[in-house]
Every structure is written in structure tokens, then in C-alpha cells.
Amino acid sequence: MRSVKSHLYIPLLITAVFFAIAFTPVSVLGCRTRGLLALGISLSSGLAGIGTGVIGLKKRVHSEADATWWMVSAAILAIPVIGLIILA
């Protein structure tokens, strides 16, 4: 259960927060605030995705069992970066 929580739920929560901010009306947060929040979440998600991808590749080279969880987590963390590129 720990692997599912840390490798699926937390990255999915970050992705959900990004899309919640991105689809919030401008009248609620303002255009600049909404854009800066989305940019910050996307940037931190991208950096975390690169980090988890590197860890996953190292674990795959050493044939460790949890390498797949790390790669799935990296793929989920890439979603806000792709979303920011598409929405921008």
C-alpha cells in the first residue's frame, strides 16, 4: 500500500491541483496569480519528474523490483508540464 500511496496518489494529487488552478475562473484568482501558481506547480512537478525518472532508470539498471513504480510516478509528474505547454 505504501508504494501505491507514494508513487500514485501523491503525483496524481499534484496533477489534480495543477488542473484545478488552471481551470479556475480568472475572476477568482486573477490572471497573473493563476498563471504564476500554475507555472510554479508545473515547474516543481517537472523537476520532481526528472528526479524520479533518474531514480527509476538507476533502479532499472540494477534490476530492482520497484523501478516500475518510479517510472510510473515520473510519467504522472510529466502531465502538468505537458498541460502547461498545451494551455499556454
pLDDT for res 66:
86
Residue type, 11: P
Distance linking the first and last C-alpha atoms of the chain:
36
Chain centre to alpha carbon of residue 39: 12
- Of 10, 7, 14, nearest to 83 by C-alpha is 14
Each residue's pLDDT, cut to its tens digit, for the chain (88 residues) gives 577 778 889 999 999 999 999 899 989 988 899 999 999 999 999 999 999 999 999 999 998 888 889 999 999 999 999 999 998 7
Regarding pTM above 0.85, the answer is yes
